[in-house]
Structure 1
Amino acid sequence: MNTLLRIDSSLRTEGSYSRTLGDYFIRQWQTKNPEGIMIERDVTRKLMPHITQETVDAFFSEIPDSENIELSDELINELYQCNEILITCPMYNYGIPSSLKAYFDLVIRTKKTFAGSSIPKGLLANKKAYIISSMGGISTETLNPLENHLTQLLSLMGITEISYFPLDGTVDQSRTGEKILIQQSEILKQLNAYATDTTSH
């Protein structure tokens, strides 16, 4: 039985391109996983706090103050429970939303999601991630800035099997519908490929 962790980060609860495409992804995922479990984490509706000195000290303490790491433990537990992760992410000021960055600051944690220092080893291998990104401008890079940043963060935790569904150029609404259809098609392809791969093992 598959478990999917959905992480949303758009400030918009209505009219969000990343959330809307994320909803489509979920409908298709549930069709292919009728008995699957979904965990939802919205870092905007329930804002992630920025880490403090006390939080960092607790991360490295042999006997940490549980109050300072309670949320971190909860978020990391969600990551361990799932075998698939969906991240929906819009671009704000050329980067990922601050609430999503705060989320990763809480889950990228030594001895919990990675080990080692000079050559870190991720502890969350064998998980599949999907990134739905949206941005007003058009990216000419292989990975847009959002995808690149999230890939680095996920890879640090050992999550390297990643599929990308970018929606760029949304400022030109005359072509947005066409681009959404293209990414919906890509979502179906990726979900079909992953379902085939997992059932063949």
Structure 2
Amino acid sequence: MKKPESVAKLEDLGRVRLSASFYMRDFLYSEIAAMHGLLNVPENPDLAIEVGGQLCESLLEPLQRQFGRIAIRSAYRSLAVNELGNRLGLGCATNEHNYARHIWDVPDDHGRGAMACIVLPWFADRYATGADWRALAWWIHDHLPYSSLYFFPKLAAFNIGWHEQPERRIDSYIAPKGCLTRPGMANHAGSHASEYAELLALREAD
């Protein structure tokens, strides 16, 4: 598929189904693009579709099955959109840092990948009344083939990334801030079921 250069072609791209629940259109909206009149579409749609499908099938679908509907906050960013977001200090890392992350259609030095910033409304409600973000992080760590997670204070939103060579690293801006786990840390291996048992009990009770 070529880069869309008409409304009809952009609609065709948006209709591409990435998984049972998600279409490409779900991942293309950007407040930065909307406010600054930029087109947020991939230069290489086929690669974006391929890695977006991996993100959806491997991570988002099982997460949604367990914890309910996913709300997408920020996902695919074109090179131009991400560069502007970085230059204006709008929460975007450099383009080079976001290859195979938010910039789905450019691999990084280690391969292909895709990332989305999402909210789980069910968990956001529990977080607002005191639930620990680490419970959700450890459930994902034990159950899903993620590459990286990064948690944020507003709505307990988090970046979740798929990569063909996963890092398996979790970081957070929510206290306790910093790195929760990464390969080589003593807490990385084994089961962490005790960390999220209460969270699963809450979910089963609803």
Q: When the two structures are superposed, what TM-score results if normalisation uses the length of structure 2?
A: 0.28
Higher relative contact order (CA 8 A, sep 6+): 1
Q: Is the strand fraction higher in 1 or 2?
A: 1
Q: When the two structures are superposed, what TM-score results if normalisation uses the length of structure 1?
A: 0.28
